[in-house]
Each structure stands twice: as C-alpha cells, then as structure tokens.
A and B are shown apart, each in its own frame.
Chain A
C-alpha cells in the first residue's frame, strides 16, 4: 500500500491523503494559519463496486493514481462523487481517474458532470460524456457494489458556502463531511492523522475563529437556528462513529464525534443574531 493511505475500516473504507504545509495559499484555511494538514479523498468499496469521494488537486495527481491503484483493482466498477463540484480539490483528478480506472458513473448536482471537470488538459475528452451522470437532488441513496446491501446516503450539507454534499456510510458509520470539521491541524508532518481522544488544542475559541476566518465569515449575526436544526437532524439521523473531513485530521469515536457536533452547535448558538450583532465583514478580516 502506498504512503498516506489510512484504512478506516478493513477493506471497506480508505482515506487517500496528501499532506501539505499551510503557507497562506489554501482557500480552505485561514491565510495566517501554519502547520500541516492532509487533503483527503475517500474510497469506499466492496468486491464488485466502489465510490470515490473527491479526486484531489492536479498537483497530487501521480500520487493519487498510485494510491488508488494500491487499494482498488482497475477493473472494479467505480463511481465518482465530487463533494463540491465547483472546487478544484474535488474535481482536479476526475478526468485522470476516469482514464485509468473503470469509472461507470458520476454523481453531480448538475447534468453532464464532465462539463464541470473536464478542463485539466489541452483538449476536452468528449467520450467522458458516455459515462452517465446521476443527479444529486435531496437525499440520494446508493449501493456500494450491486447486491451488496451496503448503502451510502448522499445529503446536501446542512452548513455550506457553495453546493456541497456530505455522505454517510451505513456500514462503517463514517460521515464524510467535505469542508466541515476541517480544523484538525498538525504541528508537524509526522503526527497521527486520526484523532481518537480529546485534543486540548481544539477549543471553542479555535473552532469559532477557524469558521469565521475561512468560508463561514457570514455566520456572525446570522440566523443560525435553522442551520443548527439541520445539523442536529444529521447527527440524530445517523449513528456516526467517525467524521472524515475533506481536509484535516479525522475524528474517530462516538464521544469525539458528539463533542464536535456539540462544539459546532454551541458556536452557532453564540453567533446567532439573538446573541451577536451582525456587521459587514470585509475581505481578509481576521478574528
């Protein structure tokens, strides 16, 4: 197996990680943040079928293809779900993976998924349009491998900036949370990439600041009640053992998962218009 692959559930779910040092050039992180984070693509698989959630940046293309080939037979039918169809991190290698693996379908909020990701080479490959695109509307249930009985649920992210999906895998009890719960940052590139106990560095202040300094600047003084309700519905609907974010460390264990949801709820409550005055937030305003 290639480096930086974490087997989240034996032969069932894998994180394909590429570690980056933060230097102010990644839009998913505050511009003044340093440290190291993994960029995570996830593979869930059965004998006769697999799904890939996000395809990574082109910068990591060679490694991602190697990682994928070390955990997936090239003939296994593979479906690709970019969790944010409009972001480079989600779609960067969709084309390369389609050329190198047995990709049988895409899932996207828009018809004709290749129209949204086929821009990484000099020319388009219109043959990719022969691979069907399944539309994501509301909650969509997919079976991993025909006849396996193992379902994943693709849901619209209850808190998002752009069009974003979260995915819950019923069998492994993993919630794939895309660009939420991304604040697990390491001080070195040698740390464990899964947190399975309470990390004293992850405080309410840190997470609040992280949210406001990244893609959730608008939460201060927003009406967060409905957001909180929808996030709580996700937590109450699914039996979650692990949170697997698109960026950052993975959170493992029911208690730790519960803590992250409670922390988020607490922060959103503080930021609600009933507790915090709304104000205009200029670009690059840090707090």
Chain B
C-alpha cells in the first residue's frame, strides 16, 4: 500500500477517504481508488462505502481524525452494492460502532454479517436520510455492477455517489493520487475509463452504452447533479469538463468490439 494522500475535503464537510489500489494492465501499473466519502452533517455523519478490506485501519484512522475534530457521531453507512471492495468493511465498523445503521440495498448482508442483521435497513430510490443541513437521497443506479446496486446523492450540494459508475484508474507516476479529476491534467480520461470498463465492467463490452450514458445524462439533469464522487475514479468537480470524456470511455469497449 502506498502512503495515502487522503483524506481530502472536496466540498465543505464532505471528505474523500481511502487509499489507492494497484492494477496491472498490459505491462503497466495503474492506480485506482477504492474510495469512501464521509458526509458530516450538523448532527450526524454518514459514510459512503466501507472501502477495500485491506484499507480498513487507514480508513478508520481518517474517519476518527475528522469526526473527533467535528464532534459529530458516525450514525449511518450507505453502501452502493454487495461486492466486498465496497461493503467488506461493514463488519469491522459494526464491531466498533454497533449502533450504526447500514443503509442501501440489503440483499446478502444477513448472510455475510449474521451477527449484525438488524443494523441493515433497506433503501429504495427516493428514500432519504437527514444529516442536519444535508440530506442523503437514494438514486437510480444507471451503471450497475450487481442487480442490487443503488446510488445516492447529497443535497444541497447535489453531489452524486455512483459506486462503480464513473470508474477509472489514474497515473501514480504522474502524481495523480489525491487529485480531483480536473487537477490531473495529464490523465487521459478516455483511456483510463475505457481500460477500467473493459477489465471490471465486463457487460459494457457487449452493450451499446449510449443507451445507458443517455440515461446518465438524464439523471444528472433531473437531479441537477453538480459534482460526482465515484468509488474508483477521481472525484469530478466540473461535470461539464469531465463527464463527456468518461462517457466516451464507457462507450469505448463496445465500439472496439463492434469494429
């Protein structure tokens, strides 16, 4: 593990947490994030994703550092889906914070964490959690990694948490670790989005993703999304600049196969 460049406050009281994960592809070592995000409201904090199992101690240190300073309790965790790099850390958090509520699609968790089955609370699109001055709202998961994926966004920032949507690696060798997408000016977003889609989102190789990316644009418009905080990509703070390149990358594997 590299020494993390996180946490980073990307918007006031919204912290980007986690650490990089090495990914090897065609002889190159890429880095990708397995990010979590901490939203600190006026009376409650909510953690989005529980990080890669290997990163738990680092992630927990980051959270403790922030919440002890803010004097706000961690009350909620939202998980985008049941894959272990997103939700594997749940059991560790519940051991330390047995009263934390885990929200999201709750399939499988009663089998994976049987000692904590009462902590899991099902959410559906439109359900919300009040954090005090901020509200976390479940949203349609347009690009899914499981049948059970669920996205969310936080108002009033209108920052979207799309889980495996907007997944792309970054160049460690160019110092991109800890940067938001717009700061990583040597990052070829089309390339890294396409590589990630080809490797980790198998289905996007076979589906005309224009159908899904059009829906993504609709969702962004409908919810007036202004920022995007992906689990595996760098946070996007300028949608107009960055989203088109990621979308092009998402469509690339299908076009490659079609040609």
Residues of A within 8 A of B (CB): 25-27, 57-60, 85-89, 91-92, 112, 115-122, 124, 160-163, 213-215, 217-219, 221-224, 226-227, 273, 278-280, 282-283
Give CA–CA (A57, B110) in the complex, Å.
9
Give CA–CA (A91, B84) in the complex, Å.
9
Q: In the A-B complex, list the 9 residue pairs whose CB atoms are closest, starting with the nearest.
A: A57-B111, A88-B112, A119-B53, A115-B54, A27-B107, A119-B88, A59-B111, A86-B83, A222-B206
Q: Which of chain B's residues have a CB closer than 8 A to the CB of A117?
A: 53, 84
**20 A-B interface contacts by CB (under 8 A):** A27-B82, A57-B108, A60-B111, A86-B85, A87-B84, A91-B84, A92-B112, A119-B84, A119-B91, A122-B92, A124-B56, A161-B202, A218-B203, A218-B207, A222-B207, A223-B254, A223-B257, A223-B258, A273-B208, A280-B214
Q: Tell me the residues in window 92-133 of chain B with beta carbons closer than 8 Å to chain A beta carbons.
A: 92, 95, 106-108, 110-114, 125
Which of B35-43, B67-75, B139-147, B238-246 forms part of the interface with chain A?
Answer: B139-147
Q: How far is the CB of A127 from chain B (nearest CB, A)?
A: 15
Q: Which of chain B's residues have a CB closer than 8 A to the CB of A219?
A: 206
Whether the pair B53, A280 counts as a contact (CB closer than 8 A) is no
From A27, A87, A160, A273, residue with most partner B Cβ within 10 Å: A27
Q: How far is the CB of A27 from chain B (nearest CB, A)?
A: 4
Q: How far is the CB of B25 from chain A (nearest CB, A)?
A: 12
Q: How far is the CB of A182 from chain B (nearest CB, A)?
A: 13
Whether the pair A86, B84 counts as a contact (CB closer than 8 A) is yes
In the complex formed, the residue of A with least CB distance to B125 is: A283
In the complex formed, the residue of A with least CB distance to B122 is: A25
Whether the pair A88, B203 counts as a contact (CB closer than 8 A) is no
Whether the pair A162, B146 counts as a contact (CB closer than 8 A) is yes
Q: Which of chain B's residues have a CB closer than 8 A to the CB of A26?
A: 107-108, 111
Q: Which of chain A's residues have a CB closer than 8 A to the CB of B212?
A: 280
Q: Which of chain A's residues have a CB closer than 8 A to the CB of B54?
A: 112, 115-116
Cβ-defined partner of B141 (8 Å) among A89, A91, A283:
A283
Give CA–CA (A206, B16) in the complex, Å.
44
Whether the pair A122, B145 counts as a contact (CB closer than 8 A) is no
Whether the pair A89, B208 counts as a contact (CB closer than 8 A) is no
Q: How far is the CB of A24 from chain B (nearest CB, A)?
A: 8
Whether the pair A161, B146 counts as a contact (CB closer than 8 A) is yes
Q: How far is the CB of A41 from chain B (nearest CB, A)?
A: 13
Q: How far is the CB of B42 from chain A (nearest CB, A)?
A: 31
Give CA–CA (A273, B207) in the complex, Å.
9
Give CA–CA (A128, B258) in the complex, Å.
44
Cβ-defined partner of A218 (8 Å) among B84, B85, B149, B206:
B206
Q: Given A27-B108, A119-B53: A280 and B215 within 8 A (CB)? A: yes
Q: Which of chain A's residues have a CB closer than 8 A to the CB of B150?
A: 283
Is B52 an interface position by the 8 A CB rule?
yes
From B83, B125, B140, residue with most partner A Cβ within 10 Å: B83
Give CA–CA (A162, B148) in the complex, Å.
13
Whether the pair B206, A226 counts as a contact (CB closer than 8 A) is yes
Q: Which of chain B's residues have a CB closer than 8 A to the CB of A121?
A: 91
Is B163 an interface position by the 8 A CB rule?
no
Is B89 an interface position by the 8 A CB rule?
yes
Q: Which of chain B's residues have a CB closer than 8 A to the CB of A226?
A: 206, 257
Whether the pair A120, B91 counts as a contact (CB closer than 8 A) is yes
In the complex formed, the residue of A with least CB distance to B115 is: A58
Whether the pair A87, B83 counts as a contact (CB closer than 8 A) is yes
Q: How far is the CB of B220 from chain A (nearest CB, A)?
A: 14
Q: How far is the CB of B144 from chain A (nearest CB, A)?
A: 7
Q: How far is the CB of B103 from chain A (nearest CB, A)?
A: 15
Q: Which of chain A's residues have a CB closer than 8 A to the CB of B214?
A: 280
Q: Which of chain A's residues have a CB closer than 8 A to the CB of B85?
A: 86, 116
Q: How far is the CB of A161 from chain B (nearest CB, A)?
A: 6
Taking A116-B85, A278-B207, A280-B211 as given, write out 17 further A-B residue pairs in contact, using a Cβ cutoff of 8 Å, ordered by the A residue number.
Answer: A26-B108, A27-B107, A60-B111, A120-B91, A122-B95, A162-B83, A162-B202, A213-B147, A218-B207, A219-B206, A221-B208, A222-B207, A223-B254, A223-B257, A273-B208, A280-B212, A283-B149
Chain B 216-249 against A: per-residue CB contact (8 Å), 1 yes, 0 no?
0000000000000000000000000000000000
From B54, B108, B142, residue with most partner A Cβ within 10 Å: B108
In the complex formed, the residue of A with least CB distance to B52 is: A115
Give CA–CA (A117, B88) in the complex, Å.
8
Q: How far is the CB of B82 from chain A (nearest CB, A)?
A: 6
Q: Which of chain A's residues have a CB closer than 8 A to the CB of B141?
A: 283
Q: Which of chain A's residues have a CB closer than 8 A to the CB of B53?
A: 115-119
Whether the pair B140, A283 counts as a contact (CB closer than 8 A) is yes
Give CA–CA (A27, B112) in the complex, Å.
12
Q: Which of chain A's residues have a CB closer than 8 A to the CB of B258?
A: 223
Whether the pair B147, A89 counts as a contact (CB closer than 8 A) is no
Give CA–CA (A282, B147) in the complex, Å.
10
Q: Which of chain A's residues have a CB closer than 8 A to the CB of B82?
A: 27, 87-88
From B111, B114, B140, residue with most partner A Cβ within 10 Å: B111
Give CA–CA (A118, B52) in the complex, Å.
10
Q: Which of chain A's residues have a CB closer than 8 A to the CB of B215?
A: 280
